[in-house]
Amino acid sequence: MGELPPPGKFLQLVRIGLCATKDGMETEWVWLDGEVMPAVDARVRANSPGFMLGLGVFETLLWRDGGPAVLSRHWRRLSSGLSRLRLPPVPEGIMRDALAQVYAASAPARKRLRFTVYLGSAGSLHLLATCTEPTKWPEVESVMVSSWKHNEHSPLVGIKCTSYAANWMAHREAVAAGFGEALLLNTKDQVCEGTGSNLFMVTASGDLITPPLSSGCLPGVTREIVLEALPTASERSVHLHDLATCSEMFLTSSTRGVQPVGWVDGVAVPVVNGKWTQAAREGLMTLLHKP
């Protein structure tokens, strides 16, 4: 992280939420390069590669039981992404302190944390931590198969990269069609992931499976935990016909947790919040509450 130039040479960041301090509105606080400040005061260089090219990585997690949940797992994925983008590493302690500081400055209901690392001009590295209210996900999700394809051969596969427009467009397509999430197919027409989630499903033969990393899916932290908690679950290619014949399905992510799926392209899933979904949720919660 380099010294910041005068404010006049910055492009102001888009505010994340309500930042006014009048009429009872809360101030949205962020942590930027070592300092907690109102979001309206946070700025980024207009010509930084992070802003111009989306050259950066991020992690989203929740504040639970006095700290960022499973932070070390998120930090390891962040570090892997930085290494693959050939960006300098960030110590876990800095990530932990940044999230703790922005959480302490924010309203108690704001428990959704995001830590972003992006490349600035002249090779400098910038760090941003934010804290917002968690998304209120429905108890049961409805999904559609997106018309957009996910390139499993992309150099960004497996990196939680700030170049996120493709996923955003697929999610927007799903919401416009009345669904809550979109499932992405790769170029081989294999199901790989949701726009912001990983997929688990129970096959017609009763096996719990999730698409392998080779499909192009993100190595989700919650996905990793569920695979550890349920040793009989396996990674296996998922095709469209598998969606039509599955008996149970759920999504995983750091903010969704384990969320049952009730409909795929408008067709009801036979079992909603069944034994596998409940077992995955119990396994996740057991690990999250470990001292």
CATH number for the domain harbouring residue 150 = 3.20.10.10
The pTM score is 0.89
Q: How far apart are CA 151 and CA 186, in angstroms?
A: 6
The answer to whether residue 1 sits within a structural domain is no
In this predicted structure, what is the pLDDT of residue 25? 57
Q: What angle do CA 83, 89, 92 make, to 5 degrees?
A: 120
For residues 50 and 85, membership in a common domain is answered with yes
In this predicted structure, what is the pLDDT of residue 121? 85
Tell which of 89, 107, 132 closes a domain: 132
For residues 219 and 98, membership in a common domain is answered with no
CA atoms in the 13 A half-sphere facing the CB of 142 = 12
Chunked into runs of 10 residues, the chain (291 residues) has average pLDDT values of 36 35 67 96 89 95 94 98 96 98 93 96 92 96 97 97 95 97 98 98 96 98 97 96 96 98 98 98 91 57
The answer to whether residue 162 sits within a structural domain is yes
Phi first, then psi: give them for residue 123, nearest 5 degrees. 80, 5
Domain tally, the chain: 2
For residues 39 and 110, membership in a common domain is answered with yes
Q: How far apart are CA 40 and CA 28, in angstroms?
A: 8
Q: In sequence order, what DSSP letters do the residues of 90-131 get, joined into one string?
A: --HHHHHHHHHHHHHHS-TT--EEEEEEEE-GGG-EEEEEEE
The answer to whether residue 2 sits within a structural domain is no
- Segments forming the whole domain that contains residue 169: 141-288
Q: How far apart are CA 51 and CA 67, in angstroms?
A: 29
For residues 124 and 162, membership in a common domain is answered with no
For residues 114 and 169, membership in a common domain is answered with no
For residues 128 and 194, membership in a common domain is answered with no
The answer to whether residue 89 sits within a structural domain is yes
In this predicted structure, what is the pLDDT of residue 259? 98
Tell which of 69, 104, 132 closes a domain: 132
In this predicted structure, what is the pLDDT of residue 167? 96
In this predicted structure, what is the pLDDT of residue 183? 98
In this predicted structure, what is the pLDDT of residue 27? 83
Please, what is the angle between helix 275-288 and helix 221-229, to 10°? 110
Tell which of 107, 132, 157 closes a domain: 132
For residues 128 and 181, membership in a common domain is answered with no
